[in-house]
């Protein structure tokens, strides 16, 4: 029986949510499956991926073929890298301790990248929010000034304008 690791779609229209499942290759996409390995939510930024690492690793070692999208997800989580390292151990290229050390170093680096992206996204979001608030406050002040100018009586503005014109005319007469 040919088994595939693939996505099973759930969620409403425009808001997909996927389960990562092991299924017979002949079964329908959202149909019968053998085992559920985890979930994938592309609606969040960065996408949320929850998988049972050990079960997934066991299925990949037993020959289950991931689809293209699942291959990318498993690569992102390190399942395929661990399989690659275990192949090196089986061939005698490295010891189990070396493989474990390489995998933990890779995992730490990957977690650092993910946390860096999350902090960058949150700071960018906060900066955009502050800029929008500042623009809104400026627009509010402009509106208040326009309303205040509109509500002032025109009689007060006319004498001030006449005085300014008289001051301009007197220097010209003296020259």
pLDDT (tens digit, 9 = 90+) per residue, 29-80? 888 889 999 999 999 888 899 999 999 999 999 989 999 999 999 999 999 9
Calpha distance 86→147 (Å, rounded): 74
| 98-112 mean pLDDT | 91
Handedness of CA 97, 100, 106, 107 (dihedral sign): negative
CA torsion angle for 119, 120, 124, 125 (degrees, to 10)?
Answer: -40
pLDDT at 155: 59
Q: What's the fold here for domain 3-94? A: S16 Ribosomal Protein; Chain: A; (3.30.1320)
Q: Does the global pTM surpass 0.95? A: no
């Amino acid at each position: 029986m040919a088994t595939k690791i693939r996505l099973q779609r759930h969620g409403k229209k425009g808001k997909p949510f996927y389960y990562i499942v092991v299924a017979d290759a002949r079964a329908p996409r959202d149909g019968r499956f053998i085992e559920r390995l985890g979930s994938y939510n592309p609606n969040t930024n960065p996408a949320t991926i929850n998988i049972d690492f050990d079960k997934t690793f066991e299925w990949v070692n037993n020959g289950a073929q991931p689809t293209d999208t699942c291959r990318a997800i498993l690569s992102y989580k390190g399942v395929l890298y661990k399989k690659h390292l275990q192949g090196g151990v089986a061939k005698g290229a490295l010891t189990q301790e070396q493989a474990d050390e390489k995998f933990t170093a890779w995992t730490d680096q990957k977690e650092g990248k993910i946390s860096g992206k999350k902090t960058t996204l949150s700071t960018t979001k906060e900066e955009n929010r502050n800029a929008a608030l500042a623009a809104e406050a400026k627009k509010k002040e402009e509106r208040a000034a326009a309303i205040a100018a509109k509500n002032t009586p025109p009689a007060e503005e006319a004498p001030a304008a006449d005085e300014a014109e008289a001051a301009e005319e007197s220097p010209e007469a003296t020259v």
